[in-house]
Amino acid sequence: MTFALEDIKVLDMTRLAPGPYCTMILGDLGADVIKIEEPGGGRRAVMERASLGPPPLEKELREAAFDAHSRNKRSLVLNLKSEEARGILYKLVERSDVFLEGFRPGVAARLGADYGALSSINPRLVYCSLSGFGQDGPYRLLVGHDINYISIAGALGMIGPRSGKPSIPGNLLADYAGGGMHAALGIMAALLARVKTGKGQYVDISMTDGVLSLLTHEATRYFYTGVVPKPSETRFNGALPYYNVYETKDGKYVSIGCNEPWFWENLCKAIGHEELGSKQFAKDQETEEVFATLSQAFKTRTRDEWIKAFKDSGLDIAGAPVYSFDEVFEDPQVRHRQMLAEIDHPALGKVKQMGISIKLSETPGKIRSVGPVRGQHTEEILRELGESPEEIEQLRKAGAIE
């Protein structure tokens, strides 16, 4: 089978979710991804061992097998504070296409792994830095996490009830969409550009920038009207009855997205309130009355009864069940689209993971291997670089590898 990113070699020095998610996408599409990991697993692992002791191999194996972020990757442990380890890194860079790091600005340079150093070794290298605020600007050195980036980008301030504190949406917006996904897109664009120019380039991804880009619709409306989007006060965040969530008889919820007038009219027919068909764009008090009518109507049946009623009506109605996560992977559409992947594991049997979202007709992605335990491929990768068993042992004694 041919893969879209076959023969693309990626070095991944990231640690937290955004970077590994980016290289998961690249690996799913066929790239050979090498995770460059810290000896001992880094500061967090050291802290955990100090309180809980070292994890048994079985636990480490199981965690790696279920970790979708680590699939289709190999693991190499390098102590980049060691000159010998940096020599190994430079040999890898010579034959690599992509380098990804997720440190604060300046850290990669201290490790001898900044863009200037690595691009001088391999001018065709696509080097991506993924950080909270980007490589320049007054916030470049600030620490942060998803919640902080979506705060500054304005997303958190428009999510939640009309009165009360903002609702935290999990680390989806900055870490995954604004960060990891934008990084994968930037890397693939730079690889495509390299076909034309023959040269690599530097890709600077800011999670805050990424979140702002995701808010393009709201920004367009704000720039045009001057109206500041607030929680539950705009078309798509809960202000209107036709794009909202309603509680049902069993305490569950249905989501309604009937933006188009004909979808709204169909919904009104299906719930037995055809008279509301002309009131989709009602104002003020009348809007509250429509809300109240819909809220009362939806409590007369269970969630699944409403979804069945929508289907049985024969009408186009943009309505869906609001699932809890344990229901998601039983949904027939999710299963049909293979977003539940089951992988054979030699020790654990069937392992479940998230499927591959990017569907390509000619070069489809594939989960070729589950995640490795830390350092699982160190010797294998060093042998590929031409290191002899004696040289590998010497590197281990020097503290360059584990």
Label each residue of the chain as H, E or C.
CCCCCCCCEEEECCCCCHHHHHHHHHHHCCCEEEEEECHHHHHHHHHHHHHHCCCCHHHHHHHHHHCHHHCCEEEEECCCCCHHHHHHHHHHHHCCCEEEECCCCCHHHHCCCCHHHHHHHCCCCEEEEEECCCCCCCCCCCCCCHHHHHHHHCCHHHCCCCCCCCCCCCCHHHHHHHHHHHHHHHHHHHHHHHHHHCCCCEEEEEHHHHHHHHCHHHHHHHHHHCCCCCCCCCCCCCCCCCEEEEECCCCCEEEEECCCHHHHHHHHHHCCCHHHHHCCCCCHHHHHHHHHHHHHHHCCCCHHHHHHHHHHHCCCCCEEECCCHHHHCCCHHHHHCCCEEEEEECCCEEEEEECCCCCCCCCCCCCCCCCCCCCCCHHHHHHHCCCCHHHHHHHHHCCCCC
Task: Output the pLDDT for position 41.
Answer: 73
Note whether 40 and 180 are same-domain residues: yes
Give me the CATH number covering residue 257.
3.30.1540.10
Note whether 105 and 204 are same-domain residues: yes
Domain boundary among 276, 304, 328: 328
CA 183-188-194 angle, to 5 degrees, is 125
| 254 close to 321: Cβ distance less than 8 angstroms | yes
**336 within a domain of the structure (yes/no):** no
Task: Output the pLDDT for position 53.
Answer: 60
Global pTM reads 0.94
Which residues of the chain fall below pLDDT 50? Answer: 47
**71 within a domain of the structure (yes/no):** yes
Task: Output the pLDDT for position 280.
Answer: 92
The pair of three-digit structure tokens given for residue 80, joined into one six-digit string? 């980049």
* Amino acid at residue number 103: F
Residue 140 to residue 359: CA distance in whole angstroms: 36
Note whether 249 and 208 are same-domain residues: no
**206 within a domain of the structure (yes/no):** yes
Q: Which single residue is written with the structure tokens 């409403």?
A: 306
Note whether 65 and 141 are same-domain residues: yes
Nearest CA among 128, 127, 178 for reference residue 149: 178
**380 within a domain of the structure (yes/no):** yes
Note whether 205 and 99 are same-domain residues: yes
Note whether 314 and 369 are same-domain residues: no
* Amino acid at residue number 60: E
Note whether 360 and 272 are same-domain residues: no
| 98 close to 126: Cβ distance less than 8 angstroms | yes
Domain boundary among 328, 363, 382: 328
- In DSSP terms, 73 is beta-bridged to 33
- The catalytically annotated residue of 67, 145, 204, 345 is 145
Note whether 301 and 158 are same-domain residues: no
For the chain, how many structural domains are there in total? 2
CA 188-192-193 angle, to 5 degrees, is 115
The pair of three-digit structure tokens given for residue 117, joined into one six-digit string? 């150093």
Residue 321 to residue 335: CA distance in whole angstroms: 16
Note whether 49 and 114 are same-domain residues: yes
Residue 172 to residue 180: CA distance in whole angstroms: 10
**364 within a domain of the structure (yes/no):** yes
* Amino acid at residue number 280: Q
Domain boundary among 270, 300, 328: 328
Active site residue 316: no
The pair of three-digit structure tokens given for residue 101, joined into one six-digit string? 């790091």
- In DSSP terms, 9 is beta-bridged to 32
Note whether 91 and 192 are same-domain residues: yes
**222 within a domain of the structure (yes/no):** no
- The catalytically annotated residue of 175, 182, 209, 377 is 175
Residue 219 to residue 209: CA distance in whole angstroms: 13
**263 within a domain of the structure (yes/no):** yes
* Segments forming the whole domain that contains residue 256: 243-328
Instruction: Tell me the CA distances in angstroms from 373 to 61, 70, 391, one per residue in order.
Output: 6, 9, 23
- In DSSP terms, 162 is beta-bridged to none
Note whether 264 and 313 are same-domain residues: yes
Note whether 200 and 102 are same-domain residues: yes
Give me the CATH number covering residue 147.
3.40.50.10540
| 43 close to 16: Cβ distance less than 8 angstroms | no
Buried-exposed string 280-319: b where 16+ CB fall within 10 A, e elsewhere:
bebeeeebeebeebbeebbeebbbeebbeebeeeeeebbb
| 19 close to 128: Cβ distance less than 8 angstroms | no
Residue 179 to residue 347: CA distance in whole angstroms: 34
**100 within a domain of the structure (yes/no):** yes
